[in-house]
Chain A
Amino acid sequence: MKLELFGHLVLTVCIFGSLFLFVAYAVYFERKVAAKMQNRVGPDRVGWYGLLQPFADILKLLLKEEIIATQATKLIHTLAPGISVIMAFITFAMIPIAQGFYIADINIGMLYMMAVTSIGVYGVTLAGWSSNSKYSLLGSMRASAQMISYELSMGLAVVGIILITQSMSVVSIVDSQTDNPFLWNIIKQPIGFLIFWIASFAEANRLPFDLPESEQELVGGFHTEYSSMRFALFFFAEYTHLIVASSILTTLYLGGYQIPYSSVWLAGANEWLVAGLQILMFILKMCLFVFLFMWVRWTLPRFKYNHLMELGWKYLLPLGLINVVVTAGWLLIYDKLF
């Protein structure tokens, strides 16, 4: 029992530690991708191919002077970035990165994820309000309206998966997709996948839905009045969201850690080897989504605010409802027929 607890603790530290590292390098990756698409070189000064750039950035931001606006509500202003980062991080606790490698598996895992994402809005909202500046306030208003709107479509997309899996536990959702790529949820739930993916852009505040921080109109949106490490925390939360959103997409729709046809060609292999390969597979799938997020960011222009709301409420939400009804109906008919 004691040893089990210790092992679990080590696993938790390892998972969160590597998540931290991934987030740091997601920033580097983003800058490299952006540079490639704009025919530039990108960061290449610090370390080999600029690989130490994230640490240089963190060090720089840590050493900068922190400025808090005099009119700000101090306590909330201080707490808000923390809320953002923590809520982004703890979503990851539910995600299995290999067979048996997860921090927690509860029978309401999917609901937990939705709950944590919806609480994450507080960080942004409170940051904007407590700064006592009109740009920040406008940014945070947009953020909360946008996140609440897209959460609904996201939830409806997840309902489809829950109906198919007959369980809310994330681990059983991955298990049910098996190692046959044609049984992955992206094949069974293509519309749900599309809705979830689009909603993830809005949840992670990424372009084309990054209105909360649209630089041209709102300076920096909700984090206009933040400086030094607290600004860095928001930045960090944003990229954590990116990684977590990619991981959730992988887990729900791309079979998580499942290696295609592993039961055929990996049968009887060393279980640690299999676990290692599964982790690699998970990272590969996750990186694919991370790259897609970045690709879209540097390709599409920003939406207008009313278009964003229209897309959320008039197209994605009805589509999500139809998806739920069709999935439930199909399952019922399938049950009756076979």
Chain B
Amino acid sequence: MIVDILFYITALVAIISGLLVITGKSPVTSALSLVLNFFCIAFIYLMLEAQFLAIIQVIVYAGAIMVLFLFVIMLLNLQDDMTLFERFDLKKGFAVLLTGLFLLEIAYIFSLDSVSVAPKGVTGASFPELGTVESIGKYLFSDFVYPFEMISVVLLSAVVGAVVIAKKKVD
């Protein structure tokens, strides 16, 4: 009961903050709303007994990536709704197209019987050991070791790429 109420409150805050991200006048407002949104999602993860995912969501997204975002916004000193929305006609068209496709996909998935709702009584709490660091670590380094290593390589190449681009400007 309490969990339900908490979920609805969190979901509401998540949706409102998500809307604020795209409607916010100043880039900083958008960024801060996104931080709030990340927190709500972390909270939902926590209610699903996925503690590791929740804390990583906070550390990586809210704690590291968004701080860097804010950093960049402040460095560029973007003023209220100016620089960000200068030329958006083509981009907007693509955005509408992609969002439409995504919505259709979600609708299709929910129309399928098999995935629409979890079997009655099965919640995150039914598998409390799944969300722990130990089990996620075990899966990452056994069943999913190749995808995991591949993602590491992709991330490494992104880091190297960033360094190369930054170095060109310095030289």
Residues of A participating in the B interface, judged by any CB pair closer than 8 Å: 73, 76, 106-108, 111-112, 114-115, 118-119, 121-122, 125-126, 128-129, 137, 140-141, 144-145, 148, 151, 168
Contact = CB atoms under 8 A, between A and B. Distances in A.
Contacts, number: 62
Nearest to A125: B70
B132 A119 contact: no
Interface string B57-74: 011001110011011001
Interface in B8-62: 28, 32, 35, 51-52, 55-56, 58-59, 62
B71 A118 contact: no
Contact of A144 (B51, B70, B132): B70
A141 B63 contact: no
A126 B68 CA distance: 12
Given A119-B63, A168-B133, A125 B51 contact: no
Contact of A148 (B56, B58, B62, B68): B68
A112 B32 CA distance: 21
A126 B26 CA distance: 14
B55 A108 contact: yes
Contact of B55 (A111, A121, A137): A111
A121 B133 contact: no
Interface of B: 28, 32, 35, 51-52, 55-56, 58-59, 62-64, 67-68, 70-71, 74-75, 132-133
Contact of A107 (B51, B59, B62, B70): B51
A144 B71 contact: yes
B58 A115 contact: yes
B144 to A, nearest CB: 20
A128 B75 CA distance: 12
Given A122-B35, A145-B71, 6 more contacts: A111-B133, A119-B63, A122-B67, A137-B74, A140-B74, A144-B70
The 6 closest A-B pairs by CB, nearest first: A118-B63, A115-B58, A111-B55, A115-B59, A129-B74, A108-B55
A255 B149 CA distance: 36
A118 B59 contact: yes
B79 to A, nearest CB: 12
A106 to B, nearest CB: 7
Contacts of A128: 74
A108 B51 contact: yes
A108 B35 CA distance: 21
User: Chain A interface secondary structure, helix, strand, loop or mixed?
Assistant: helix
Given A107-B133, A144-B71, A145-B71, A119 B62 contact: yes
A144 B63 CA distance: 11
B67 A111 contact: no
Nearest to A121: B67
A148 B67 contact: yes
B133 A108 contact: yes
B28 A129 contact: yes
A291 to B, nearest CB: 30
5 contacts: A115-B55, A122-B35, A125-B74, A137-B74, A168-B133
A325 to B, nearest CB: 16
Contacts of B56: 111
Nearest to A168: B133
Contact of A108 (B52, B63, B74): B52
Contacts of A141: 71, 74-75
A220 to B, nearest CB: 18
B158 to A, nearest CB: 17
Given A114-B59, A119-B62, A141-B75, A125 B67 contact: yes
B51 A106 contact: yes
Nearest to B26: A73
A112 B133 CA distance: 13
Nearest to A162: B133
B68 to A, nearest CB: 7
A26 B63 CA distance: 28
A145 B67 CA distance: 9
Contacts of B70: 122, 125-126, 129, 144
A168 B59 CA distance: 15
B151 to A, nearest CB: 19
Contacts of B132: 107-108
Contacts of B62: 118-119
A281 B87 CA distance: 64
